[in-house]
């Protein structure tokens, strides 16, 4: 085991950073007046903040440590999740985002109510709360706790988890989404700076690009892996990675809440494109340092130890504190987003929809109370994950099995006018339990062997079948019910005329096209 020791100056840097983030969070959200300003930052977020907060929420402690660990163990194939996210975000900007922002909805389940009916809204809201608290929040706390135990082995895991829950939830309770977005923006910059410093130092140790390639495991310097690969087979990019990207970047309320807070449709678009661009450098900032680390530390007991090992062995005292602060930032960014998002689902989808009228102050008080409740629940559940061997590895497979109904009803509702409310509801309530059963049978009890990205593809086909059969068996919705909820060529052509007079740097379609070209060229270098 490597030695993970912090000097006093490192601890001071971390303490100052945490104090600064808490102070900025409280300052940013000091004037919350109602639940809309609390959950959507008054719908006034500018595009750089939208983009950086999207990326920061994605870089959880699990991702920050796990991407480097995957690079160490398997090579660069894990980058498929990141560059595919760029293409999904381009599609989102071109075809989906305007519907969300122009509808002025407060939550993603609320959009389902507009497109389908209240049944789908309530079902998807419950599903989102479940995954947010028991998977996203508890997972981030668990991963952060076991990582911080490397630094503070004498501190019980429960104490570390409790401290992180208090840090991540404290300023959210008072500050709301504005505090989350402002602090996430700062933390995103720190995460990228820390990743860049680590890459530079490790590359300097190896000395050449050919040495970087030689450090990778056999076949590990390519994003294309054999079809029978256990980690990420190349067909799995299209049967699983793509659709997991659509779930996370187009339907997940925790992520979409940042987009819904945008000042305008254009600010939402530019922010999402910025987030897409920032996915690409993660190959160099997180994945390749792990791969290069194989040449320096070939016999690590655990692949996920590579990032902290590089940080503590290569960084001088003082900079170690900066890197630890980056890790704390990754943990807090995910936690604060999830807590605020889950609270907004309860308040907007279950409390505000009841007949009883509540004042703005009452809703704001309830909102803050729900953040506190979810903070406690996530903190209590996180240590329970220790009873499941390798459960962190199951998170993506869990989402792959159970989230395909959400992908089908959102994309089907947006692009198929014939899709009915019954199809949306039944696809969700039938597909999700089947997916959960498949996950438990294959991943937990190992009753069958199937790479989970292939399992994701099978779940997608099943949900599409349910969606189509129920739609064709029920009465088509009326045209007036679909206003502003379904994509049309007429709206696309009208927007094309509006864009004709804009310079290229203000034309989001030109920017999206350039991003696709950059992505394709970049990925082709690693095939």
- The reported pLDDT for the residue numbered 468 is 97
HEC sequence for 442-511: HHHCCCCCCCHHHHHHHHHHHHHHHHHHHHHHCCCCCHHHHCCCCCCHHHHHHHHHHHCCCCHHHCHHHH
CB atoms within 10 A of CB 441: 14
pLDDT at position 389, please? 41
| Number of structural domains found in the chain | 1
Structure confidence at residue 390 as a pLDDT band (50, 70, 90) = very low
Question: Which whole number is the average pLDDT over 506-513?
Answer: 93
Q: Which residues pair with 262 in a beta bridge?
A: 45
Looking at the chain, the whole-number percentage of residues with pLDDT higher than 70 is 91
Q: Which residue has the higher pLDDT, 188 or 418?
A: 418
115/487 Cα distance (integer angstroms) = 12
Q: Measured between alpha carbons, how far is 309 from 323 in angstroms, rounded to an integer? A: 11
* Sequence-distant (≥ 6) Cβ neighbours of residue 225 within 8 angstroms: 77, 219, 231, 232, 233, 234
Is 425 part of a structural domain of the chain?
no
- 510 occurs within a structural domain: no
Residue 32 DSSP code: -
Which of 71-75, 104-108, 298-302, 351-355 shows the lowest mean pLDDT across its residues?
351-355
- Binned at pLDDT 50, 70 and 90, residue 474 comes out as very high
Distance CA 225, CA 222 (A): 7
pLDDT-derived band at 391 (thresholds 50, 70, 90) equals: very low
Q: How far is CA 126 from CA 141, 210, 255, in A?
A: 21, 50, 16
Give residue 498's pLDDT.
Answer: 84
Look at residues 143, 122, 134 and name the one whose alpha carbon lies nearest to residue 374: 134
Q: What is the mean pLDDT of residues 22-32?
A: 71
> Does 527 score more than 60 pLDDT?
yes
- Using a 10 angstrom Cβ sphere, with 0-12 exposed, 13-18 middle and 19 or more buried, the burial of residue 228 is exposed
Contact call for residues 67 and 286 (beta carbons, < 8 A): yes
Boundaries of domain holding 214: 8-387
Question: Residue 394: is its pLDDT beyond 70?
Answer: no
Q: Is residue 319 part of a domain?
A: yes
CA 431 to chain centre: 22
- Predicted pLDDT of residue 287: 93
Record the tokens describing residue 433, joined without a space. 């339990």
pLDDT in tens, 449-470: 899 899 999 999 999 999 999 9
Residue listed under structure tokens 């379609």 = 509
Burial status of residue 131 (CB atoms within 10 A of its CB: 0-12, 13-18, 19 or more): buried
Kindly state the tokens that stand for 237: 């990019």
CA distance 150 to 3: 9
What pLDDT is attached to residue 371? 78
How much is the pLDDT for 35?
63
On the question of pLDDT at 422 being above 70, the answer is yes
Tens of pLDDT, residues 200-235:
999 999 989 999 999 999 889 999 999 998 888 999
Residue 169 forms part of a structural domain: yes
What is the CATH classification number for the domain harbouring 349? 1.20.1730.10
What pLDDT score was predicted for residue 1?
53
What is the reported pLDDT for 456?
94
In a domain, 315, yes or no: yes
For residue 385, the model assigns a pLDDT of 61
Position 136 pLDDT exceeds 50: yes
pLDDT tens per residue, range 368-380: 788 788 878 877 7
pLDDT in the model for residue 174: 64
Q: What SS3 class is residue 45? A: strand
Q: What pLDDT is recorded for position 165?
A: 77
The whole-number average pLDDT for the span 497-507 is: 86
Asked if pLDDT for residue 67 goes beyond 70, the answer is: yes
Any domain includes 2: no
Interacting residues of 437 by C-beta distance below 8 A, sequence separation 6+: none
Of 66, 129, 137, give the one whose Cα is nearest residue 382: 137
Q: Could you read off the pLDDT of 320-341 as tens digits, one per residue? A: 887 777 777 667 767 777 877 8
User: Could you tell me what percent of the chain has a pLDDT over 90?
Assistant: 42
pLDDT number for residue 90: 97
**Which of these ranges, 87-91, 170-174, 422-426, 492-496, has the smallest mean pLDDT?**
170-174
Quickly state the pLDDT bin for 70 (edges 50, 70, 90): confident
Mean pLDDT of 3-16: 81
pLDDT at 100: 92
Domain membership of residue 428 (yes or no) is no
Query: How far, in Å, are 65, 291, 335 from residue 304 at the CA level?
Result: 6, 11, 20
User: In angstroms, rounded to a whole number, what is the distance separating the alpha carbons of residues 96 and 98?
Assistant: 6
Average pLDDT (360-365) is 76
Asked if residue 487 lies in contact with residue 415, where contact means CB atoms within 8 angstroms, the answer is yes
What tokens were used for 230?
């256990």
For residue 293, the surrounding DSSP H or E stretch is helix 288-296
Encode pLDDT of 247-259 as tens digits: 999 999 888 989 9
- For residue 45, what are the β-bridge partners? 262
- Give residue 164's pLDDT: 77
Burial class (CB in 10 A: 0-12, 13-18, 19+), 30: exposed
Give the pLDDT of residue 508: 93
Whether residue 154 is predicted with pLDDT greater than 50 in this model: the reply is: yes
Could you report the per-residue pLDDT of 99-126, keeping only the tens digit for each? Answer: 999 888 888 999 999 999 999 999 999 9
- Report the alpha-carbon distance of residue 371 to residue 357 in Å, rounded: 21
* CA–CA gap between residue 204 and residue 305 (Å, rounded): 20
């Amino acid at each position: 085991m490597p030695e993970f020791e912090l000097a006093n100056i490192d601890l001071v840097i971390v303490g100052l950073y945490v104090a600064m983030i808490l102070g900025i969070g409280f300052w940013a959200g000091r004037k919350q007046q109602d639940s809309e300003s609390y959950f959507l930052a008054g719908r006034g977020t500018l595009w750089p903040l939208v983009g950086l907060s999207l990326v920061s929420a994605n870089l959880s402690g699990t991702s920050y440590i796990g991407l480097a660990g995957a690079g160490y163990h398997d090579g660069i194939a894990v980058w498929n999740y990141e560059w595919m996210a760029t293409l999904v975000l381009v599609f989102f900007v071109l075809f989906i985002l305007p519907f969300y922002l122009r509808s002025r909805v407060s939550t993603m389940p609320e959009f389902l109510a507009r497109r389908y009916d209240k049944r789908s809204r309530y079902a998807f809201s419950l599903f989102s709360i479940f995954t947010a608290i028991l998977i996203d929040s508890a997972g981030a706390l668990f991963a952060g706790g076991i990582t911080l135990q490397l630094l503070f082995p004498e501190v019980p895991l429960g104490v570390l988890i409790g401290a992180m829950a208090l840090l991540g939830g404290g300023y959210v309770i008072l500050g709301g989404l504005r505090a989350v977005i402002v602090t996430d923006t700062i933390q995103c910059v720190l995460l990228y700076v820390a990743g860049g410093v680590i890459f530079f130092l490790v590359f300097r140790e190896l000395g050449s690009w050919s040495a970087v390639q030689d450090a990778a495991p056999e076949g590990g310097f390519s994003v294309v892996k054999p079809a029978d690969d256990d980690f990420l087979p190349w067909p799995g990019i299209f049967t699983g990675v793509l659709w997991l990207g659509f779930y996370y970047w187009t339907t997940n309320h925790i992520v979409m809440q940042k987009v819904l807070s945008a000042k305008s449709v254009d600010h939402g678009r530019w922010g999402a494109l910025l987030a897409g661009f920032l996915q690409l450098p993660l190959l160099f900032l997180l994945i390749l340092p792990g791969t290069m680390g194989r040449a320096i530390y070939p016999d690590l007991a655990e692949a996920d130890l590579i990032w902290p090992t590089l940080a503590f062995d290569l960084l001088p005292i003082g900079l170690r504190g900066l890197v630890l602060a980056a890790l704390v930032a990754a943990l807090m960014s995910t936690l604060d987003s999830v807590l605020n998002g889950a609270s907004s689902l309860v308040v907007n989808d279950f409390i505000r929809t009841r007949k009883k009228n509540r004042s703005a102050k009452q809703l704001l008080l309830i909102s803050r109370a729900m953040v506190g409740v979810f903070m406690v629940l996530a903190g209590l559940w996180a240590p329970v994950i220790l009873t499941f061997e390798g459960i962190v590895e199951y998170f993506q497979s869990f989402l792959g099995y159970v989230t395909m109904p959400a992908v089908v009803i959102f994309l089907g509702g947006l692009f198929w006018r014939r899709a009915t409310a019954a199809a949306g509801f039944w696809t969700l309530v039938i597909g999700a339990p089947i997916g959960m059963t498949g996950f438990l049978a294959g991943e937990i009890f190992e009753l069958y062997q199937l790479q989970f990205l292939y399992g994701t593809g099978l779940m997608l086909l099943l949900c599409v079948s349910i969606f189509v059969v129920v739609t064709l068996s029920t009465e088509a919705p009326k045209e007036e019910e679909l206003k502003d909820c379904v994509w049309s060529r007429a709206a696309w052509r009208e927007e094309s005329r509006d864009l004709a007079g804009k310079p290229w740097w203000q034309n989001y379609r030109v920017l999206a096209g350039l991003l696709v070209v950059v992505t394709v060229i970049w990925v082709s270098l690693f095939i």
